[in-house]
Amino acid sequence: MKNNQEGSTVKNKFFTGQICAYAQIRSLWQEWGIYMDKTDEKVIASIRSRETLCEPFLKVSKILDMGGTGNYISLCNDRNAEAELVDGEDVRMDFVNFPDMELTAAGVRICRNILDSYVSEDIIADAHEALCEEKVVRTHINIISQTLCEINIYGLVRAYIKSDARIRRFVAEEICQRFIPVRCFRAIRNMYYGIFVRIKYRGLISVCGRIAAENYVK
């Protein structure tokens, strides 16, 4: 019993909040309804952004910190790079926090043998499990967001009338996001965010572009 509680504590340090998910508006809602509140804001954020949530990543530095070996981040990631484990998908460089790397659940498995030199098997297993659980959550959030997006306005109104308070909140947010002023605001916000990122990381973008161009020429 004590080991289970400790394991849960470790996993919660990777992803805070109770795991919860929502699928089709009515049927799967009841199946996942036992988890409820703490994912509601993620669903709302997904509806507002109109973007599909990507697969979750976890920084190598965070995994090492759990084992008290954070000082070895450079050495660990050098070994990952030398072993040619960086594929840009499941194992990718975190250029903003270089020399850190980011791993998906599959990436944790790929780098397992090297991580094992710095942290315990239990920490690696917890990291992998937390990523898998978060992936399930994001998958279901994407499902409900996409489902709402595909329903016409009349269907949304009917769903609002027939649904409970929690689903009504999602439906109301979807209806709100279809108003022209809200759509214009979202487009302007995304445009300015893109400009902000290009200005803030212009040096990094320039270096990456130069490296890509040199590799293309070769």
- More confident site: 141 or 204: 141
Sign of CA dihedral 199, 201, 204, 208: negative
Task: Give the model confidence (pLDDT) of 15-33 as tens digits.
Answer: 433 233 233 444 545 444 4
The residue behind tokens 């270096």 is 207
Q: What is the mean pLDDT of residues 38-55?
A: 83
What's the CA gap between 166 and 179, in Å, rounded? 21
User: pTM score, two decimals?
Assistant: 0.66
Is residue 190 very low, low, confident or very high in pLDDT (cuts 50, 70, 90)?
A: low
Task: Give the model confidence (pLDDT) of 119-160 as tens digits.
Answer: 999 999 999 999 998 888 888 888 888 888 888 888 888 888
